[in-house]
């Protein structure tokens, strides 16, 4: 038999009532929905998404071997749907337990503990599909420039603005001009003589533009306009050759100003690499099963669902962009001091 998520609570309640006539203690509800907060644990290459309801002592888990499940998050650009067939390797297990348990303790070990006891168990049979819809719920470079102001062409699409052409859109780029001075250190608000923040005709903040070339410093790869790239005004980059600093901001001249902001100092040292672009991203994964059948391990009774929503899994990670081999390696950075 098949029924939708709207009906399964009612139907299982009927089963429960019917079964009680036989003297069985069946109290399952399968009461999970899109807001059920799932956790993930990993054993070797096995992933387990799980949830334990501490009030009803119901536990649901989805075990699936996938060596690179976390890699899905690393390379994710917008949204991705992962489909996993349900079979003897990829199983969904529903359990009613005799007492409460810490889900991580219960699921994240090779052999589940003998206590609490399993009162009732349904295991998925072969057939049907797990659908993991993964999307980015939050990402920002937190560089101090509001995301809407990093929409340089103003078309409402944050992904097609890449001022320095490094493949990382400005709103995710911690160094928007690739000059090795992080935007967070460069996007200084311009102040008038009274110390008030200057705004343009739209009311937007005006940022400091040292060489007055119309390009604010955080988007200008030659901030002082002396024809030496800011990235190469990093004379002390190799003070510690094992750990190149990549920071033009700490090359101060006698007046206390950094060389890259002083057009009278044009000494240069070639630095042909850029800092890593490291940001925090959050992900939201909705876990749904389609055309899935569960079998009661004691009675053999089966339950089928057209759509069974297990819940949602949320995680966040610190990641280096862009997601290809143009990410600067430690070797490349060290080579500038050879």
Q: Which of 61, 67, 10 is nearest to 311 (CA)?
A: 61
CB of 305 to Ca ion, least distance (A): 45
Min dist. Cβ of residue 270 to Ca ion (A): 14
CB 125 within 8 A of CB 302: yes
Give contact residues for Ca ion (rule: CB under 5 A).
141, 143, 170, 173, 175-177, 179, 181, 183, 186, 217, 220, 222-224, 226, 228
Closest CB 109 distance from Ca ion, rounded Å:
43
- Nearer Cβ to Ca ion, position 120 or 221? 221
Under 8 Å between Cβ of 204 and 187: no
CB count within 10 Å of CB 228 equals 18
Name the minimum Å distance from CB 249 to Ca ion: 9
Helix (H, G, I), strand (E, B) or coil at 8: helix
Residue with smaller CB distance to Ca ion, 67 or 270: 270
- As measured in angstroms, the least distance from the Cβ of 165 to Ca ion is 14
CA atoms within 13 A on the CB side of 82: 18
Closest approach of Cβ 232 to Ca ion, in Å? 8
> Measured from the CB atom, is 179 or 251 closer to Ca ion?
179
Instruction: For residue 236, give both structure tokens.
Output: 């002390």
C-alpha distances in Å from residue 217, one per residue of 182, 183, 188, 272: 11, 9, 8, 20
CB closer to Ca ion out of 143 and 251: 143
User: For residues 58 and 141, which CB has a smaller minimum distance to Ca ion in the complex?
Assistant: 141
Q: Which is nearer to Ca ion, 19 or 183 (CB)?
A: 183
Rounded Cα distance, 247 and 275, in Å: 9
Cβ atoms of residues 53 and 30 within 8 Å? no
């Amino acid at each position: 038999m098949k029924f939708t998520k709207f009906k399964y609570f009612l139907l299982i309640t009927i089963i429960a009532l019917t079964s009680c006539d036989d003297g069985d203690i069946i109290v399952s509800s399968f009461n999970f929905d899109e807001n059920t907060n799932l956790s993930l644990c990993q054993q070797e290459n096995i992933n387990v998404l799980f949830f334990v309801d501490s009030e009803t002592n119901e536990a649901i888990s989805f075990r699936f071997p996938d060596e690179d499940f976390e890699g899905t998050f690393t390379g994710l650009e917008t949204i991705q749907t992962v489909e996993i067939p349900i079979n003897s390797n990829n199983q969904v297990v529903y359990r009613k337990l005799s007492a409460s348990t810490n889900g991580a303790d219960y699921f994240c070990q090779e052999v589940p503990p003998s206590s609490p006891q399993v009162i009732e168990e349904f295991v998925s049979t072969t057939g049907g599909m797990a659908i993991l819809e993964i999307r980015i719920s939050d990402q920002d470079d937190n560089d101090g420039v509001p995301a809407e102001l990093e929409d340089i062409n103003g078309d409402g699409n944050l992904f097609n603005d890449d001022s320095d052409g490094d493949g990382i859109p400005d709103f995710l780029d911690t160094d928007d001009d690739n000059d090795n001075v992080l935007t967070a250190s460069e996007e200084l608000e311009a102040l008038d003589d009274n110390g008030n923040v200057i705004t343009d005709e739209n009311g937007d903040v005006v940022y400091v533009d040292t060489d007055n070339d119309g390009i604010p410093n955080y988007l200008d790869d030659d901030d002082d306009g002396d024809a030496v790239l800011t990235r190469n005004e990093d004379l002390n980059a190799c003070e510690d050759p094992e750990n190149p600093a990549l920071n033009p901001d700490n090359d101060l001249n006698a007046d206390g100003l950094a060389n890259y902001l002083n057009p009278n100092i044009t000494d240069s040292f070639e630095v042909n690499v850029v800092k890593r672009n490291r940001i925090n991203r959050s992900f939201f994964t909705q876990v749904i099963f389609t055309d899935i059948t569960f079998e009661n391990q004691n009675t053999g009774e089966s339950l089928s669902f057209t759509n069974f929503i297990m819940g949602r899994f949320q995680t966040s990670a610190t990641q280096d962009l862009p997601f290809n081999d143009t990410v600067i390696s430690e070797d490349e950075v060290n080579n500038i001091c050879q």
